[in-house]
Amino acid sequence: MDPVEPVASVPTPRQPMQPVGVTAELAEARAKLRQAAPSGHWDGVLAEVSRLQYDQHMSPLAALQAVYAKLASGWLPPVPR
């Protein structure tokens, strides 16, 4: 059995990874949606995003943007019971 090589230490300072491309767009859209969601309604907002993805065959990014637009127009998701 070969000996295990030690893992080299990570040089410091290390900068956090910045998402790029679609990952960055999804992260930004989700953050905007989170800020726009009224207190206590986040689960309902996420449920609407999932519903649009499933029922309307929307991409994750398109669904996030659609729900953001709904919130901006005054729509509120139901409060979970």
pLDDT digits (tens, 9 = 90+) for 12-70: 666 676 667 788 899 999 999 999 999 889 999 999 999 999 999 999 999 999 999 99
Q: How many residues does the chain have?
A: 81
The mean pLDDT of 66-78, rounded to a whole number, is: 94
The secondary structure of 5-41 as a DSSP string is PPPPPPPSS-PPP---HHHHHHHHHHHHHHHHSPTT-
pLDDT of 11 reads 61
Q: Do the beta carbons of residue 67 and residue 76 sit within 8 Å?
A: no
Angle at 78 between CA 43 and CA 31, to 5 degrees: 40
pLDDT in the model for residue 9:
63
- Residue tagged 């005054």 (tokens): 74
pLDDT band at 6 (very low <50, low <70, confident <90, very high): low
